[in-house]
Structure 1
Amino acid sequence: MSKQLKVLAVGAGWRGSNSKSLFNGFIKNGCDVHIIETDGYFYNYSIPERLYMRVRKLPLKAKFQKFNTTIARMIDAYQPDILFVVKGLWVTEEVVQYAKVKGITTIHFHPDFLFDDRYHTSTILNQAISSYDLVVTAKTTEVEKYKQYGCSRVHFMKYAYDPDIHYPVQLSVQEKINFQTDVAFVGRMEPFRADALNRVAMQGYDLKVWGTKWDKIPKNDVLNRYCEGRPIFCEEMAKVFQGAKISVGFLTQLSAEQHTARTFEIPACQGFFLGTRTEEHMDIFQPGVEADFFTTPEELLEKVAFYTQRDEIRQQITQKGYEKVIKMNATYEARVKEIIEMVRKEISYVM
């Protein structure tokens, strides 16, 4: 019988985050897990802190030091087998090395782009990343970049959905008023996304857009009427996908992204997934059978026009897409099992 692995997990702890679902994945795989949440240390910044970070590119020194000291002390007290860090923007190289000296397997997972997206990196992470024993990424284009940067072991792992959060929901009468629409999008504003969705809005479709930075689009864009002005998470997000005839799955233009968490979350909620056409998307879903895809804003408009008027075809594809993600077992629990199997092999080899 394999010994129970002890995992010291560091990352965001709010329900609906990639990190929380991954941490729960370790628990579901029988691991003993202790979590150090970054939420209490970072992200709820005061205005002075934001100004400080803009200049120094670091959080306040006392907060930054307390965070890393807490990790080091927990390494001593908890004596984990694995230090699993998600998006470790402020975990220092010294802490990673300290864990390794203690014989702990150190793993980093970044849900975003480390090299091409300035929003999701830091000098601290750039210095520490090559020290980890294993780097896990859901971005195929990042694999070689990590290796060239000096990371010795890099593992590609697809995104996933969390069945505790992403599942079909029944909408109440009020929820149908709130969430039913022709087209929905959940995500951050980027110029390509804004332009494409503005074209959809200009054609008179009912549209709902959730996420951040949508207040940055031009004030005269028709799209402004359809921006909800806030992000949306968990079961409420499932209601968005359930209520929309079409849920658009844009990929970022910041790099050559091939798929994302929405790739699995939308079908898992029994939403109709209309995503950016990529090799990975078309490998996961059969076009026109389990989902559908577009490349240009013009093609997006064509697909919206087609599917909003064909309920039966759309519903068949939606059901097939839902059945596909269930059959694939594309869950965080299954993804974490991949990581655990790699670690157990490593531990057995060392012993």
Structure 2
Amino acid sequence: MKILYLGPTEGTAIQRIMALRRLGHDVTVVDPHLGRSVPLIPERLIDAWCFRTGAIGIEWLVARYVAKQIGNATFDVAFVDHGDLLNASCIAHLKTIAKVVVNYNQDNPYVPRDKGRWRVFLTALPLYDLIATHRVTSANSAARAGAKRVLLTREAADEAVHRPIELSSEDLARFSSKVAFVGTWMPERGPIMLRLIERGVPLRIYGPRWQKAPEYEQLRSHVVLGELKGDDYVKAIRGASIAIGLLSKGNEDLHTTRSFEIPAIGTLFCAERTSDHLEMYKDGEEAVFFDTVDECADLCLSLLKHPDRIKEIADAGLKRVHKNGDFNEKLVMKIINGALKG
């Protein structure tokens, strides 16, 4: 099929683009964020403005940019990833050049966490042929907001990126750890990390913004600042005996991409106990789950005394994630086929 992909060209979005291409589709990529430039205004200020206001005064620039990039081309599917900058007139235009227009959004536009960022998306939502989301709460909110059709999915790991790679001696020197958390600082995460350290968990934290944590001075020796991309992200997880997965409370998450990426990389997944996680993995056999930070500490400290048990659970988790099929190729085709069968 001829697919127009509109979304960011970084992060996990790149993985979805490549998944579509691996499946043999002809994919044209347009990044709406490239259409936001305003002379003499720094990019960081534009970012802040779009996040706080939903691109007031800028959305028309994006719509013009997208139309110019598309030109006279037509497509079987327009696949919008997130859609925070695409207004109703832009989606209406897409419907004239594509058989179906779908939206897949990993974030949660229906809660106040991201301030005004989703203003434009919410006005355009009723025009999409299909809205795909991985949260029941988001699916219900999308329906109330006027979505024609809503598809409940799971997030996914990537077939090509997330795999049990072999680490070199240099990799092990850089990434070897007993327990790792890979993720951005959020206000609720600092106290969790600090408590784990206080309990004696040999923790290493990778990710951006941790210097903003009120607990940073106590965490500093455990933190490797900066975002990990590509194989460095995989190596940091692969180099750990146990990798912790945390959820965004503000986003109402019951699982995230880490829920699949960590087991797919071949590392033991230790995460918050939720209905989604319990549906995906057998607790204590294919992953380990906790309700409190002290239970997390107890699990980590106990398991670290039994390396063979860690390997057994990690291997079982790897088999389970592949059995479940929670990978990008299946995800993107579920969304596209769901829209075309509409």
Answer yes or no: same fold by TM over 0.5: yes
1:89 is the counterpart of 2:84: yes
* C-alpha contact 2:177 2:241 (8 A) present in aligned 1: yes
Structure 2: gaps (5+ residues): none
The structural deviation recorded for 1:115 is: 1.1
The structural deviation recorded for 1:341 is: 2.2
User: What is the distance in 1 between the residues matched to 2:146 and 2:113?
Assistant: 20
User: What is the distance in 2 between the residues matched to 1:300 and 1:56?
Assistant: 38
User: What is the distance in 2 between the residues matched to 1:243 and 1:55?
Assistant: 38
Alignment-derived partner of residue 116 in structure 1: 111
* C-alpha contact 2:4 2:79 (8 A) present in aligned 1: yes
Alignment-derived partner of residue 238 in structure 1: 234
Matches of residues 214-293 of structure 1 in structure 2 within 5 Å? 214-219=210-215, 221-293=217-289
The structural deviation recorded for 1:65 is: 3.7
Cα 1:245/1:42, change in 2 over 3 Å? farther
User: What is the distance in 2 between the residues matched to 1:153 and 1:245?
Assistant: 42
The structural deviation recorded for 1:132 is: 0.8
RMSD: 2.3
Judge which range, 143-152 or 164-173, deviates more. Answer: 164-173
The structural deviation recorded for 1:130 is: 1.9
Cα 1:53/1:40, change in 2 over 3 Å? closer
Q: Per the alignment, in what secondary structure is the counterpart of residue 211 of structure 2?
A: helix
Judge which range, 323-332 or 79-88, deviates more. Answer: 323-332
1:23 is the counterpart of 2:17: yes
1:126 is the counterpart of 2:140: no
Q: Which amino acid aligns with 1:144?
A: N
User: What is the distance in 2 between the residues matched to 1:298 and 1:345?
Assistant: 47
The structural deviation recorded for 1:48 is: 4.7
Cα 1:74/1:81, change in 2 over 3 Å? farther
Cα 1:255/1:111, change in 2 over 3 Å? closer
Q: Which amino acid aligns with 2:93?
A: Y
Structure 1: gaps (5+ residues): 347-351
User: What is the distance in 1 between the residues matched to 2:242 and 2:53?
Assistant: 43
Q: Per the alignment, in what secondary structure is the counterpart of residue 248 of structure 1?
A: strand
Cα 1:39/1:172, change in 2 over 3 Å? farther
Judge which range, 44-53 or 93-102, deviates more. Answer: 44-53
Q: Which amino acid aligns with 1:46?
A: E
1:9 is the counterpart of 2:15: no
Cα 1:280/1:133, change in 2 over 3 Å? same
Alignment-derived partner of residue 67 in structure 1: 62
Cα 1:182/1:39, change in 2 over 3 Å? farther
1:309 is the counterpart of 2:330: no
Q: Per the alignment, in what secondary structure is the counterpart of residue 321 of structure 1?
A: helix
Alignment-derived partner of residue 33 in structure 1: 27
Judge which range, 132-141 or 31-40, deviates more. Answer: 31-40
The structural deviation recorded for 1:206 is: 2.7
1:335 is the counterpart of 2:336: no
Matches of residues 185-224 of structure 1 in structure 2 within 5 Å? 185-219=181-215, 221-224=217-220
Cα 1:52/1:345, change in 2 over 3 Å? closer
Alignment-derived partner of residue 43 in structure 2: 46
The structural deviation recorded for 1:339 is: 2.1
User: What is the distance in 1 between the residues matched to 2:335 and 2:60?
Assistant: 29
Alignment-derived partner of residue 294 in structure 2: 298
1:148-196 Cα deviation digits (max 9, x unpaired): 1111200011111112111112112222121111211111222332111
User: What is the distance in 2 between the residues matched to 1:204 and 1:291?
Assistant: 21
Cα 1:265/1:55, change in 2 over 3 Å? closer
* C-alpha contact 2:52 2:114 (8 A) present in aligned 1: no
Q: Which amino acid aligns with 2:25?
A: C
Q: Which amino acid aligns with 1:70?
A: Y
Alignment-derived partner of residue 349 in structure 1: none
User: What is the distance in 2 between the residues matched to 1:186 and 1:214?
Assistant: 11
Runs of 4+ in 1 over 6 A off after TM superposition: none
Alignment-derived partner of residue 100 in structure 2: 105
Identity value in percent: 24
Q: Which amino acid aligns with 1:77?
A: N
Q: Per the alignment, in what secondary structure is the counterpart of residue 77 of structure 1?
A: coil
1:345 is the counterpart of 2:341: yes
Q: Which amino acid aligns with 1:106?
A: V
User: What is the distance in 1 between the residues matched to 2:66 and 2:139?
Assistant: 27
Judge which range, 102-111 or 162-171, deviates more. Answer: 102-111
- State the number of aligned residues: 338
1:106-162 Cα deviation digits (max 9, x unpaired): 111111111125338322112112221110111222111110111120001111111
